[in-house]
Amino acid sequence: MDDPAAVRILAFDVFGTVADWHSGITAAVAAEGLPVDAAEFARAWRAGYAPVLARVRAGELGWTKLDALHRLILDDLLPRFDIPDLGEEQRRRLVHAWHRLDPWPDVVAGLTRLRAKYLLCTLSNGHLALLARLANHGGLPWDCLLSAEVFRQYKPEPAVYHGVASVFDVPEAEVMLVAAHHDDLAAARVCGLRTAYVERPHEFGADAPKDVSPVAENSLHVRDFAELADVLGC
C-alpha cells in the first residue's frame, strides 16, 4: 500500500469484521427454541442482507433502518423454515440479538493499541443505536460512530465512503477502511480511501470456512487486529 504513514483515520466495518455475528445469531436462534439448524438459519438470515439493501439503494424501499430490514428478512425467512407462527415478542428479541454480538477475541486489545495513534470510527450499515449498543456490550473504544444512517445511504454507495473524509475534514487518502469483505474494500478504494483486509475465516461459522486469500495488491492484508496494530506501528 502506498504511504500508510499518511493515514489519520481508521474506519471499521462492523458485522463480521469487528463483531462475530454468526455465533451471536446462532446462539439467539437456539435460545428461542426454533426447530431449525440454528447455524444454518443464521447464515440464511445474513444471506438476505445484500438483497434487501439493494432494494433500498434502488429506491424500491425508502430509507429504512437496519432493524426494520432485519425484521423484513426474518419475516420472509420463517415460512421457508416452516416456522409460520413465531410470536411478535420472539421476533423482536431475535432482531435485537444483532445489538448484542460479541467482538472477535482480538478486537478490543487491537483497537486499544490502534487508538493510541489513530482516530477510530465505525463505518457500518448498522444504525447508530445498534452500533452504540454493540460498543457498550463489547467494550469497544470508538472515538466516533459513523453509520449509513448518517449519510442516508447504504454501502457500497460512494457517499458513505466520501462521508468519512467529510466528517473528519481530511482527504480520502488519510482514511483507511478496515474490513473483512473484499467488495466493501474495493468500493472504498474507488473513492480514494486506503484499505486493510482482515481475515475472518470463521465469519460464517467454523463449519463453513471462508476463503481469505488476498485479492488486491494495493491493500494491507492482516490476520487480525493485533497484526494490523503491528503493521501500523502501534
Per-residue pLDDT tens for 158-187?
A: 999 999 999 999 999 999 999 999 999 999
Q: Rounded distance, CA 129 to CA 12, Å?
A: 17
Q: Which domains does the chain have, with CATH numbers?
A: 4-20+101-231 (3.40.50.1000), 21-99 (1.10.150.240)
Question: Helix 88-96 vs helix 21-31: angle between axes, to the nearest 10 degrees?
Answer: 160
pTM of the full structure:
0.96
Looking at residue 2, its pLDDT comes to: 54
pLDDT at 85: 85
Examine residue 201 and say whether the peptide bond preceding it is cis (omega within 30 degrees of 0): no
Instruction: Quickly count: other Cβ atoms within 10 Å of residue 4's Cβ.
Output: 13
Q: Measure the CA–CA gap between 81 and 34, rounded to whole angstroms.
A: 10
Tell me the pLDDT of the chain averaged across its residues: 95
Task: Give residue 123's pLDDT band: very low, low, confident or very high (50, 70, 90).
Answer: very high
In 3D space, the residue among 128, 131, 123 whose CA is nearest the CA of residue 157 turns out to be 123
Answer yes or no: are the C-beta atoms of 4 and 220 closer than 8 Å.
yes
C-alpha to C-alpha distance for 92 and 170, rounded to whole angstroms = 40
pLDDT tens-digit series, residues 68-116: 999 999 999 999 999 978 999 999 999 999 999 999 999 999 999 999 9
Q: Which residues of 154-183 are buried (b: 16+ CB within 10 A; e: fewer)?
A: bbbbeebbbbbbebbebebebbbbbbbbbe
**pLDDT at residue 4 tops 70:** no
Q: How confident is the model at residue 215 (pLDDT cuts 50, 70, 90)?
A: confident
Instruction: Inform me whether the pLDDT recorded for 5 exceeds 90.
Output: no
Residue carrying the nine cell digits 486499544: 112
In the 3-class helix/strand/coil scheme, how is 175-193 assigned residue by residue?
A: EEEEECCHHHHHHHHHCCC
Cell of 187: 468500493
